Amino acid sequence: MVIHEDDQVIALNKPAGLSSQGGRIATHTLDELLWAFARSSGNRPRLIHRLDRDTSGVLLTGRTKPAAGFLGKALMGKRFRKTYLAIVAPGAPQPAKGLIELPLRREMQGREAYMKTCAADHPDAELARTRYRTLAANDEAALVELSPETGRMHQLRVHMASLGRPIAGDVRYGGALTLGGRPVPRLMLHAAALTFPHPDGQEMRVEAPPPADFEGLRAALFGAD
């Protein structure tokens, strides 16, 4: 899973199906696996941000407490730039690229948390902004690049659903469960790249190749690159 490692940070390519941290149903988590990188002092890397359990891709950790503190402040200061790939359906969003500015609010349904779009003056409204552009499309589906400018829970999933193009495999928000005559194995959302200020001073970009299930569905729908 390691895609970059130095004295300050470790960047990982998280597989789908692995929770970032413990939750109500989480047992084995990426956070627990970080003990494998613990130093002789017992200090282990610290997660800087999270991905949904069924989302694959780049996750960043700080190897030391100062590095984690620096990266955490950079994240809060909106100095991280995240790039995701998603397969959505049906067809390309209209317009094919743009900026989604729809506030979100959290709502509980039983024991499950959902995010819903809402008016900006709603008392629970949270600002949410997502840039998107279509990379490939046909009548059935589209491959889109997503760049969130805020970090709300389920933001990309709800914003694409708001365009009538939910992410494939997203049971919670209405995503297609079959495409191209084949089942969609999971949420088709992949954190492909992350640009961030490194604690040593330079800007760094790390990229994570999509997993086989994502690439297989992409090839079936749009052909080889």
Active site residues: 52
Give the C-alpha separation, 30 to 46, whole Å: 11
Cα 77-52-63 angle, rounded to 5 deg = 55
DSSP 111: T
The DSSP-derived string for 145-172 is EEEESS--TTHHHHHHHHTT-PBTT-TT
Q: What is the separation, in whole angstroms, between the first and last Cα of the chain?
A: 24
Question: How many contiguous H segments (helices) and E segments (strands) does the chain have?
Answer: 4, 14
Give the C-alpha separation, 34 to 39, whole Å: 11
Give the C-alpha separation, 192 to 86, whole Å: 10
For strands 112-117 and 129-137, give the pairing: unpaired
Give the C-alpha separation, 223 to 190, whole Å: 18
Q: How many CB atoms lie within 10 A of CB 177?
A: 12
Beta bridge partners of 191: 57, 84
